[in-house]
Amino acid sequence: MKLLTPTRPAELPTEALLARLRCRRAAILVDLKRVDLDHVAADQMTADHVTDAPATDVVYWVYKRLNSRLRKRLAAFLDLLAMRNLILALRYTLAGETPPATLLNNSLLAEPLQRLVTKPEETETTIAQLEAALSSDYSFAVGLTATYRNQGPGGVEEQLADGILQHGLARTRNDILKGVLRYLVDMRNCLMINKLWRWQVSQAPPLATGGMLTVTSLQSVWAEHDSERFSSLVARLAGEPLTGTEAIGMEQSLLRGLSRLLRRTGRDPLGLTVIIEYLWLAQLAVHNQLLRQTLALDRQELLEEVLLQ
């Protein structure tokens, strides 16, 4: 089963859509800058800080207006956004909670998969059904049930999150989109190292390949517990100095780095980057909304994993 909800591609010419996105982009940027997560107290982070139109609606609005050519070129990125929705929804369900409405309303995720990951079933049954649904189209989902038995829900999320990035890297031919996926691989690896250091885990993390930072260099940093070199690598990747290694600050720095990467590579007003950046900004708004809700509810165990998706 495909991750994306099936809808008829639009007939809107690419140039017309790009013009509309350039006009709408400014509104998302204003909202993202409205709250600085590094300086606002958790009890002040509420839904009042979110755009009037839910960001999931914004992403779906774009998806419905993509013509068949654009959908094909953006398939790897659209799959990534849908997988992120699936992983987060699955996490809430396995924790015995109902996923937030902001996560699945007008989501790109196909409705049968939405129902599957929000249905209150025995956990292993849900994972087995998910593996059966995805395996024919996404080979990285093979063995998901065995992963759950051996590693629990965290291993399942890791297999899906890393798998969709590798899947996208293997199938996209667009250099800018490939650069975005490589950056996200690096971001996951860096956040994973930082999290396991804070948790004082001795076992080396399973680092994903394909990023701009070599796995060898990150393994060396891990083995030597070289926090100074690690901070230097993260700062170089993000394009800004780190103010600390606490989870939210590092993640927000890396998120800003990806936004800068998109602005730097998206000079062409008729290029694919206009759509990628717009979708990224909208997805970032969803992410920040969930992060605020997590902090406001003092749900630290959910926060740790939100940062890695």
Q: With cut-offs at 50, 70 and 90, classify the pLDDT of residue 272.
A: confident
Comparing 48 with 290, the larger pLDDT belongs to: 290
Q: Is 6 within a domain?
A: no
Assess contact for 109 and 87: CB atoms under 8 A: no
Q: What is the pLDDT of residue 50?
A: 34
* pLDDT band for position 218 (cuts 50, 70, 90): very high
Residue 157 lies in a domain: yes
Query: How many Å from the N-terminal Cα to the C-terminal Cα in the chain?
Result: 21
Predicted confidence at residue 115, as pLDDT, reads 94
180 vs 289, more confident:
180
pLDDT at 9 (0 to 100): 81
**295 pLDDT band (50/70/90 cuts)?**
low
Percentage of residues in the chain having pLDDT higher than 90: 44
Number of domains in the chain: 1
| Predicted pLDDT at 211 | 95
Residues in CB range of 11: below 8 A, 6 or more apart: 67
Query: For 264-268, what is the mean pLDDT?
Result: 71
11-38, pLDDT tens digit by residue?
Answer: 778 888 888 887 776 665 555 554 344 4
Q: Residue 42 domain-assigned?
A: no
Does any domain span residue 26? Answer: yes
Mean pLDDT of 75-86: 93
- pLDDT tens digits, one per residue of 110-140: 999 999 999 888 999 999 999 999 999 999 9
d(Cα 219, Cα 187) in Å, to the nearest integer?
15
Residue 46 CB neighbour total at 10 angstroms: 12
250 within domain boundaries? yes
- Residues 52, 30: Cα–Cα separation, whole Å: 12
Among 263, 302, 301, 268, which residue's Cα sits nearest to residue 280?
A: 263
The answer to whether position 37 is within a domain reads no
Mean pLDDT value of segment 46-63: 60
Torsion of CA 100, 106, 109, 111, to 10 degrees: 90
Q: What's the pLDDT tens digit per position in 245-254?
A: 677 788 888 9
Residue linked to tokens 């000079």: 267
Residue span of the structural domain in which 219 resides: 14-32+49-306
Give 166's pLDDT tier (boundaries 50, 70, 90). Answer: very high
DSSP state, residue 184? H
109: confidence class by pLDDT, cuts 50, 70, 90? very high
Can you tell me the distance from the alpha carbon of 162 to that of 168, in angstroms, rounded to the nearest whole number? 10
In a domain, 230, yes or no: yes
4 belongs to a structural domain: no
Beta bridge partners of 163: none
pLDDT at 39 over 50: no
Residue 199, pLDDT > 90, answer: no
* Region 44-57 average pLDDT: 46
Q: Average pLDDT for residues 217-224, to the nearest whole number?
A: 94
